[in-house]
Chain A
Amino acid sequence: MSVNILIRFNPAKPKAGEEVRVQIVAQHPMEPGTRRDASGKTIPADHITELVVTFDGKPIAVVRPGPGTSANPLFAFKMRAAKAGQLKVNLKDLAGNSGEKTADLALA
C-alpha cells in the first residue's frame, strides 16, 4: 500500500525570490520496533527510512528518519522560490512500502 503524503507551501503563492516554507507530512505509524502489543509480542519495526525531495528533477533535500521519529511525521524546510516548478517527494519504509506525491509551486 502506498503511503499518504501531504505537501503545503507557506506562503501558498510566494513572490519570485521570496523564501517559502515547505511542509511535508507523511501518514505513517512509524513503529520503532521496541513496542509490544497487548499479548506481549514485539511489534516489528516499520518506519520511514528515506525521504527524498526533488524540485523539477533536481534533488534539494534527503531525510533519513530513524525509529525515534514520531508517527505521522512532519518535515519542514525553507527554500528560495526562484522559479515556478514541481516539487516531488519520494519515500520508502522498512516494510517495503513507498509513497510519492507532487505539488506545483506557483509564483504570485
Chain B
Amino acid sequence: MARLWRLAVVALAFLVPLAIAQEDDPIKEAEKQKRQLLEQSGVLPSDLFVEQGERLFKAKRGPKQASLEACDFGRGPGKLEGVVGRLPRYFFDTRRVEDLDSRIRTCMIRLQGFRPEEIRRSEVVAIAFYLASLSNEKLVTITPLMPQEKRLYELGEKLFYLRAGPRDMSCATCHVTYVGRRAGVLPYSDLLNDKRVASHWPAFRYSNDQAWTMADRIRACYTVLGMPAPDFYSEPIIALTLFMNVQARGGKMDLPGFIR
C-alpha cells in the first residue's frame, strides 16, 4: 500500500507541472475566455448601448427638437458607414480637429441646441457605440493631410512619448518599452505594431462592466500614471487619439469592441 502511495506521489509530481505549463500563457488564456464568452452569450451588453444610441441618434430632442441624422461625421450629412476609421479629422464648420466624441457633442450643440453643460456623457457614449456598430469590419483609413491635423498628430506623438508626473512615465513606457509584459492579468497592448489595438474603440470592457470610448481609455491611463486626466473633448485627448488611430491605419475595425 505504501509503495502504491509513493508511486502516486511520484506520478503527481510529474503531472502537476505539465498541467500548469499548459495554462501558463495569460494572453492565450484571456483569448480563450473571450472566445468562450462570445460563444455562450447571444446578447452582449454592448448591443444594449448600440440600441440606446440608435434611439438617441434618431429621436427629435433638445431645444431645437431635431435628430442627429443631419450630422456630418466627415463623409457628409447622414453618411455614417465607416466614419469611425476616418476620425479624428479637421472640420471646416467648427475649424478644429474633432474625434468621434467631440463631433457628437458638436452636433448635439449645433443641431439639437443643447447647452454644453447639459450634455450627458452617458448619452455621448451610447451614440458613439451606435456609430461604431455601423463601422464594424470597415478599414481604418485615417491620414492626416490638413496642416491642423498634422499639427495635432505631432502633439499626440509628443504626448505619447512625454515622460512626466510623479512616476516619470509616458504612454510609451507601457505600450512600447514593456510590451510583452503585463499589468495584473492584462498584457500591455503593442500600440505601434498591432493594428487591432486602436481599432476596437469604443469598446465594452467585460471584466469591469464599463462602456468606454478612446477618451475614457486615455483618461484612465493618465490616472494610472499619477497625472491629472485631460478633460473630455479636449485637445490632448484628440491629439493622442489621432496619433494612435494613425498607428492602426489599414487595420480592420472590430466594433464595438468586446475586451477584457
Contacts and interface: CB of A to CB of B under 8 A. Distances in A.
A9 B42 contact: yes
Determine chain A's interface SS by DSSP, over half rule: strand
Nearest to B39: A10
Range, interface on chain A: 10 to 19
Contacts of B123: none
Contacts of B69: none
A61 interface: no
A28 to B, nearest CB: 11
Which residue of B41, B42, B43, B47 has the most chain A CB atoms within 10 A of its CB atom?
Answer: B42
A42 interface: no
Nearest to A5: B51
The number of chain B residues touching the other chain, given as a range, is: under 10
A4 interface: yes
A70 to B, nearest CB: 12
A25 B51 CA distance: 11
B52 interface: yes
A62 interface: no
Nearest to A74: B43
A102 B41 CA distance: 20
Interface string A21-32: 101010100000
19 contacts: A4-B55, A6-B43, A6-B47, A6-B48, A8-B42, A8-B43, A8-B47, A10-B42, A21-B42, A23-B42, A23-B43, A25-B43, A25-B47, A25-B48, A27-B48, A27-B51, A27-B52, A72-B48, A74-B43
Interface of B: 41-43, 47-48, 51-52, 55
Interface of A: 4, 6, 8-10, 21, 23, 25, 27, 72, 74, 76
**Which 5 residue pairs are nearest across A and B when measured between Cβ atoms?**
A8-B42, A10-B42, A23-B42, A25-B43, A23-B43
